[in-house]
Each structure stands twice: as structure tokens, then as C-alpha cells.
Structure 1
Amino acid sequence: MDSFGREESNEKTSTMKYKFSILKFLVLILVLEFFFDFCSSSISTQTQAANLNPEQELERELGLEETPVDSKSSKSHPRDRIRVHHVFEEVYPTSSASSVSIFTEKTVKSSAIHHKGGHLSEKILISLGSGVVFNKQGYILTNAHVIKAHDHLLVKLKSGKAYEAIVIGIDKRIDLAILQVTPDEDIVPVEKLDYYTHQRGEAAILKYINTKIQIRKNREAKSKSKAKTSA
């Protein structure tokens, strides 16, 4: 009886440690996100050239392509946020098995098909972005801008099957969200986090932060140079 009690206690302790390690890593992302928001400065938007130079290629890889934004959305534009799947892929070279695609459904009228004098409607899937499975309970970490204000969300696993997802939590200010799915198949969460993984995670986030800050500085320098030339 004592042996059974000890095994049950060890199992609960192991589960709690796993959840706590996930929580610590999420807190790390949040803290560094605040750091990035503090260090980042506003930039002017430009039109992307057809032929990309090496810096623009790097911007495309990091999701930093310049796109027109209005004053209402500029404060929370996706390019100013840390991409969750980028960080996990940097930390876990094999995290692709835990990556998922997020979709929404949209009903459209088909003009090519008529039914009793009217138009048939059909549902199409619209890709929103990606996320990462971080536990076997079906919790998925993604960016808040990915799900936006969509009511009906679908998550497509690596198996190709799609499942309806519910929003567990969302914080638009730091651009993070947690979804949950209930699949009828096994899902692959990211590996258990340890101290070494936390170090790699911190380095990965800082890498993207520093790269973004440097690109911003380069843009500002170019803008000032153009202003002086035109003057």
C-alpha cells in the first residue's frame, strides 16, 4: 500500500514539475516580450522593392516585411511581436512534429453552381498561421494576432486531421494566446523543458529581438539619410 502511495505521489510530482517547467518558459517569453516593447521604437513604413537585398531577405525570413499599416493598428502590428513558432523551432530542432496549422472557415456563395434558382454556398478554409502543442491535454500556444476576432477556429495536426479549437486565454497586448483541441488521436507536445532548454530559449528570443532592433536602426538611418539628401 505504501509502495502504491509513493508511486502515485511521484507521478503527481512529475506532472507538476512538467507543468511548472512549461509555465516558466512561457513567463520567459512574456518577460522578454516586455523588454522588446521597451527597447523598440516607432518606424516609418516604406514600399518593398521588387529585388530583395540580403537585409530584406532576412526580414522576410523573420516575418518583418514592410507592409502599409494605419495608425490604429501600428501599435500592435504582428511584425512587432515575437513569433511563437520561430522561437520553438530555434529551441527544438525537432519541434516540427509539435507544430500545428490554424484555420478559420468562411462561407462563400458559388456563382458557378445554381440550385433552384439560387446560389449554393460552400465553406472554405482560410489559413491564419501556426502554433505549437505544449501538452497532451491539447493546449496550443500561438500568437494573438493569428486568431484575431475569428469565432470559429480549426487546428490542423501533422496527421492532416483538423479539429475545432476553443480559446482558453488571450492577451493582445503581448500578442500571445492559448487554444485547446480535443483530438481523437495522439498528439505530440514539445519535449520536457530543462535548464539547458531554458538557456537556448532565452538565446533564441534575444536573437530575434536583437535582429529586429538592428533592422529598425538601419531603417531609421536610411530615412534620415534620405531626408538630408532631399533637403
Structure 2
Amino acid sequence: MDQFIVKPLFGHGDVGMFTITNVTLWLFLSIVAIVLLMVVGTSRRAIVPSRSQSVAELAYGFVYKMVEDVTGKDGLKYFPYIMTLFLFIVFANFLGLIPMSFTTTSHFAVTVVLALAVFLTVTILGFLKNGVGFLSLFWVSAAPLALRPVLALIELISYFVRPVSHSIRLAGNLMAGHAVIKVFAGFAAIAAVSPISVLAITAMYGLEILVAFIQAYVFTILTCVYLKDALHPHH
């Protein structure tokens, strides 16, 4: 598990609040990658797009359609935030697949902050948009009257569990995948199992590329679902 250890980028010693670490570096590189794609890559907009422009336009269209389909037209004003969230997680996940890099989204400290930001945003937005009517999200009016208080309690608990599941799903999947690759890599030094180990690493690496995108997609679409609840809380 040494690949997940947070270390000072310069020198040695304890990691403090203001210490520049390997996490800091790879978070910064994720931001740089987003800027290179969305700003530099699209600066020379052309009718026949370049590769970077094509990728940027595909990403834009993909997330825009997702937001529109899940939240409706009302949610499109929050598209920039969701787009930024998706791109950050995608680039952080993919940069973590580079050998000797650091997977920032495998740390709960990062994913919990992302999940709490979404949770607080949609909760505050829900009350700002609907007032006390936002609480109707927890009242299942279609259920029999006797069951409504029980369902309201279940809905309330599930609502506050959202940031936990939202963050653990992302970090847990990436941590598990990288750990498995490292285990197979340890067997590569044994001559008898080396060919099998190399094939297993190749297969796992291909799977992790898929997981890197899927987990970014899942995190983003859940954000859209939570946003929809804030905009339209009535069951």
C-alpha cells in the first residue's frame, strides 16, 4: 500500500497543513491538464476541429446531454460546475494510471471533499429554491399514510448517507484496482509465473482505464440526480 502514502514533495519529515506533497503535485497536474484541453486545445477553433478540440467538444456535449436528460432545462445553469467536476475526476483518475504517479482520487481526503461540496450545494440550493417545501423530498405522498413516517425516516437517513457512499465508491474502486495491479506486479519477478503475471497486469490495466472513466461518470450522474432532487423535490 506504499503507493498511497502521502509524502512531502521536497525534503523529508512530517506532512503538515501547508506541506507541498505528492498529492498537491498531481492535483495541480490535473488542473493543468484540464486547462490545456479546454482552453489551449480549443483556442484555435476551426470548422474542421483538431484532435484536442474534438475531445473537448465531445466532453462538453457528453456532460451537457447528461445534465439536460437528468435535471431538465432548469439544471443547465449549473452545467459549468458539473462539467468541471467531471473533467477533474476524469483527469485525476487517468493521470493516476501513469507509472510512478499518484492517484489523488484514491484518497478519501479528496473524494470526501468533492462529495461534501456536492451535498452542501444541493442541500442549500434545495432550501433556496423551495423553502420548507424541500422537506417534501422525504415525504412519500404516494405511500399509505401509516407507512409515510417510516419511509420519511429511511429517506432522511439515506439522504445524509449520500456523501459517504458518493465518496467511498470513487476512492474504493480506484484504490482496489491499483492495489490488485501492484500485487500482480510483485509476482512478475518470479520466473515461473512471470508470463501469467504480465498478462494479468495488462488485463487489469485495461480494466482500470475503463473504471477510471466509469467512476467519473457515476460520480457525475449521481451529482445530477441529487441536483434534480434539489430542483424538483416532490415525490
Please say whether Structure 1 and Structure 2 have the same fold, judged by a TM-score greater than 0.5: no
TM-score w.r.t. the length of structure 1 is: 0.30
- Indicate the structure with greater strand content: 1
Q: Relative to total residues, which structure has the larger helix share, 1 or 2?
A: 2
Which structure carries more relative contact order (alpha carbon 8 Å, separation 6+)? 2
